[in-house]
Structure 1
Amino acid sequence: MHAVEQYARAHIVTDTADSADDEHRAVPVALRYDPATDPRQVRITLPGPHEWTFDRELLERGLRVPVDSGGVRIWPCGRVQAVLEFHSTQGVAVVQLDTKALMRFLRRTYTAAMPVAH
């Protein structure tokens, strides 16, 4: 079992952006999965000190139908995008990612979680 880290581009879609340009700019995000730490959890890190940990199953289901758990909501947005909404005491972060990138990440997590045959 090994950790998976994948970088992707996301679009901020909140109304708290400083300008209209900020609202639609692409930002780098890091998707992480470490089966040694917790095989059920994934992490997503946005620019700055913003990191959320939530169930991998929530991400998988959220690509098909709207789901939420605690401070995380995920839903499909058309056929090629997904929206992730994160609630914290500092406010709400809403980002849009390509579904392909999220599916690729999920496939890699399931491969990484499989025991290696010796």
Structure 2
Amino acid sequence: MHTPTVDETVQARLILSTHRSARLRVTLSYRPDDPLAVRMAFPAEFSLDERGDDGRGNGLGDGPAGAPGDAPADGPGDGPDPDGGRDIVWVFARHLLAAGLELPAGLGDVHIRPATGRRTMVELRAPEGTALIQFDSTDLRRFLWRSRVVVPDGEEHLFLDPDRALAELLG
């Protein structure tokens, strides 16, 4: 039985300063073979890593290197972007995204909190810097609902494959 991956592309705003922001496309992904995690993929041009971008340094780091739940770029939206770079992918707990829609949540590299109106703020921290991204809460709620249709809350353990996880961990 193949369970479908949930992918949704939404518009967000990268907050650059009090009076400046940049629109960007973010691809949200949920994979049943990794049922506890969600992925956010950002365009490569927003990377702070000067090795692979245009050097503007206005963005999102490379994801939490070595952080729990960090995963190599290997899913939909994790490949090359139309401009020739690789998307920046952040992987974190699905329950963190759900909790952050209601109350401030997060420890370490990813923090999520409700904002005024129908907005949600996602703060991503990397050694290169911190990025603050504003989402429409409706987009995030729709994505979570779609992920729960595929794997309901509380049933994630039914989709875990410990042998595959161990093989991935050991390389």
TM-score interval, normalised by the smaller of the two chains = 0.7 to 0.9
Match of 2:26 among 4, 26, 29: 29
Provide, for residues 8-65 of structure 1, a one-character-per-residue CA deviation record: whole Å limited to 9, x for no partner: 00011133xxxx6xx32311000000011x1000000111142110000000000000
Q: Which residue of 2 aligns with 1:40?
A: 36
Q: Tell me the secondary structure at the aligned position of residue 79 of structure 1.
A: coil
Q: Tell me the secondary structure at the aligned position of residue 25 of structure 1.
A: strand
Q: Which residue of 2 aligns with 1:11?
A: 13
- The within-5 A match list for 1:1-118 is 1-15=3-17, 23-36=20-33, 38-48=34-44, 49-113=87-151
Task: Tell me the TM-score normalised to structure 2 length.
Answer: 0.59
Structure 1 segments (4+ residues) deviating >6 Å? none
State the percentage of identical aligned residues. 31
Q: Which residue of 1 aligns with 2:167?
A: none
Structure 1 Cα separation of the partners of residues 123 and 101 of structure 2:
13
Greater Cα radius of gyration, structure 1 or 2: 2
Aligned length: 108
Q: Which runs of 5+ in 1 are unaligned?
A: none
Query: Which structure has the highest strand share of the two?
Result: 1
Query: RCO (CA 8 Å, sep 6+): is it higher in 1 or 2?
Result: 1
Q: Tell me the secondary structure at the aligned position of residue 69 of structure 1.
A: coil
Task: Tell me the TM-score normalised to structure 1 length.
Answer: 0.85
Structure 2 Cα separation of the partners of residues 42 and 69 of structure 1:
16
Q: Tell me the secondary structure at the aligned position of residue 68 of structure 1.
A: coil
